[in-house]
Amino acid sequence: MARLNKETLLDWYRQMVLIREFEETCQQLYNEKRITGVYLHLYSGHEAVGVGAIANMEIGKDHIITAYRDHGIALALGVDPNRVMAEMMGRVDGVSGGKGGSMHLASLNHHFWGGYAIVGGHLPLASGIALEAKYNETGAFVICFVGDGATNNGYFHEAVNIAGVWDLPVIWIIENNGFGMGTETSRAAGNPILHERANSYGVKDLGRVDGQDVMAMYEKVNEAAQHVWSGGGSAMIEAITYRYRGHGVSDKQYDTRFSEELEEWKQNKDPITVFRRQLEEKYKDIGSELDDIEAAQREIVAKSVEFAENSPFPDTLEQLYANVYVEES
Amino acid sequence: MASRNLPMREALRHALLEEMHRDESVFVMGEEVAYWQGTHRVTRGFLEEFGEKRVLDTPISEMAIGGVAVGAAMAGLRPVAEFMTINFAFLALDALVNHAAKIHYMFNGMFKVPLVFRAATGWGDQATATHSHMPEPIFAHFPGMYVGTPSNSADAYGMLKASIRDDNPVLFTESIGLYSKPGPMPDEDEDFILPIGKGNIVREGTDVSIFTYARGVEWATKAARELEQDGVSVEVVDLRWLRPLDTELIFESFKKTNRAVIVEESLPMYSFGSELAAQIQENCFDYMDAPIKRVSAHDVPLPYSKYLEAMALPDSDKVVAAVKEII
């Protein structure tokens, strides 16, 4: 377990604030048509899930993969915000050279195997990555984020089952934010208690965790890591969280359809507010340090926008055709 | 070259064995590849030789087979994943075309996906509509993955070895009708690699070119021998690869003979033949002495009844007839 000293906790706070600031800036930039395209899925409201989980990773050794709501994961891992923002805008300095966009961020150095946009499509990839860890006995595990919607398609069944059969070191974290696109989880899942599915596959069921509480999230994923390290194979967690924005930015109905519920979560269960309260209880006079962190993150995001807008668009035929195939084997 | 005469399934088996001995990161996975020794017997004896670590039986889970291979390849292994038949690969279509083929590009070269999907393909055993397919052109539609399909033992051996060593994803399809067909094979110690994307002139001729692959080569060669009796000189070109397509070889052959018949075991609509005819027309128009003819299966799902099935499929007689129409 990481040492949960003040420095560590402040770093988690920094990551969460950075993600929120980045995401809300993306929304703003989209409204201003400075970020274009139809797909931009924001992580606002989920910050504690990503940050608490990633805090258990040895970055560059352990592996991580997620779906299209991937900006927060990249930032929590420490991927350069400038290059993440440049990818949002499709610029050459983007992490994927402007070819991936919002949904396809990745970083080889961080063992961040990417965001994927086919619902559930990345789940068997997680099992495959875990197979390599087992095959080469690296001692690494894979964190795979799974949206609640993805638990209802065939990929979930096949990927989790094969991880169960082969005892692969995967921590499946279901991010249950209550909606698969615009459909409530309860209207899409025969059994809406999603973590219970683990039992069907011989995967360790670690139950639900409050995904708005970064401390709780950290501890629950640590329990999963202990299970994986003990050679017990994969484990599943259901993190209960909430989405502050629509499924994607083009989803205009969400805020009005669920405004009352949304306000309730924002007022009483906001992960950043919850964590700030925990820190203020634990450390006296920490307020100004937290304020400084917030100001610094605003500055970082503002600079990322500047960096991105100064980066050129790829626009040559050579760039269009680059990397269809690995040229030299 | 010919020091052994082996059926294609044995050629494939030897290629796999040798590559697994050469490179620790190569492993095989698929339905019944381990304890059952492979449904097509290509992995016979592998479990005993390499153990459970490198010979993995999977559940009947094609989406998982496809996706697990992609993830393992990204992380540094070199999976050779078997689909018992190409029909089952349709269940994994997303893993193949959305993931295997696109990941290198989508992440701008950050990740490599060095895997081989092997799949049995073809029709003609009354396997009925859902188990009778030669759908290679569907997969060859997508940039990012190579698609190869051998016509004989030596090619199967050299092409599979090249596929396993390549850093790109490869769909390698094996015509069921050829598995048991013996053919000459090079010595085991030869580093016999047939480069990806290179076709082969099986038989030289001057009057007409037949472009084909896999089992079509047999029908084309038989037709060529018959036509020779009538004084028609036929060039038979085995493309070996549907992607990358050896257009240089195709155009060169066409410019020599000025006539083309395209033979495909597959269906006619949006097919290998459609693509080839278009490319020849666009690139060799000044050399055309006759319309390009296509010999394909009939445009129907394959029926069970053996007479109907035979009627639906191409054969050497149909190839002879097509050549005679344009000579």
* Å between B85 CA and nearest CA of chain A: 19
User: Which residues of B are the active-site residues?
Assistant: 62, 131
Reported confidence tier of residue B257, pLDDT bands at 50, 70, 90: very high
**If you average pLDDT over residues A227-245, what whole number do you get?**
95
* Å between A152 CA and nearest CA of chain B: 14
Q: Is B200 within 8 Å of B237 (Cβ atoms)? A: yes
Percent of chain B residues topping a pLDDT of 70: 98
Which among A99, A106, A124 is the nearest to B67, CB-wise?
A: A124
Contacts of A65 in chain B (CB under 8 A): 71
- Sequence-ordered list of residues with C-beta below 8 angstroms from that of B253, at least 6 positions apart, any chain: B201, B209, B211, B235, B237
Least Cα distance to A214 among A14, A63, A69, A65 occurs for A14
**A131 to chain B: closest CA residue:** B72
What is the DSSP code string of B80-148? EEEESSHHHHGGGHIIIIIIITTHHHHTTTS-----EEEEEEB--SS--GGG-B--HHHHHTSTTSEEE
Reported confidence tier of residue B181, pLDDT bands at 50, 70, 90: very high
Please classify residue A298 by burial: count the beta carbons closer than 10 Å to its beta carbon, then call 0-12 exposed, 13-18 middle and 19+ buried: middle
Reported confidence tier of residue A300, pLDDT bands at 50, 70, 90: very high
**Mean pLDDT, all residues of chain B:** 96
Contact A63 B75 (CB under 8 A): yes
Residue A217 token pair: 């999230």
**pLDDT for residue B127:** 87
Separation between Cα atoms, residue B273 and residue B265, nearest integer Å:
10
Delineate the domains of chain B, giving CATH numbers in brackets.
5-184 (3.40.50.970), 200-325 (3.40.50.920)
Contact B59 A322 (CB under 8 A): no
Strand partners, B82: B30, B118
Which among A96, A99, A131 is the nearest to B72, CB-wise?
A: A131
**pLDDT for residue A1:** 54
Separation between Cα atoms, residue B298 and residue A186, nearest integer Å:
48
Contacts of B107 in chain A (CB under 8 A): 96, 99-100, 104, 106, 114
Delineate the domains of chain A, giving CATH numbers in brackets.
6-321 (3.40.50.970)
Separation between Cα atoms, residue B215 and residue A302, nearest integer Å:
62
Contacts of A96 in chain B (CB under 8 A): 106-108, 110
Q: Find the helix packing angle between A214-229 and A6-31, rounded to 10°.
A: 110
Tokens 């615009």 correspond to what residue?
A: A182
Contact B106 A118 (CB under 8 A): no
Contact B144 A131 (CB under 8 A): no
Separation between Cα atoms, residue A168 and residue A171, nearest integer Å:
9
SS3 content of chain A, % helix, strand, coil (to 5): 50, 10, 40
pLDDT tens readout for residues A159-208: 999 999 999 999 999 999 999 998 999 999 999 999 999 999 999 999 99
Separation between Cα atoms, residue A50 and residue A16, nearest integer Å:
9
Chosen for mutation from A135, A146, A152 (greatest number of chain B CBs closer than 10 Å) is A135
**pLDDT for residue A200:** 96
In B161-190, the residues whose Cβ lies within 8 Å of chain A are 165-168
Least Cα distance to B118 among B73, B160, B155, B78 occurs for B160
Contact A108 B63 (CB under 8 A): no
At residue B73's C-alpha, the angle toward residues B67 and B77, to 5°, is 130
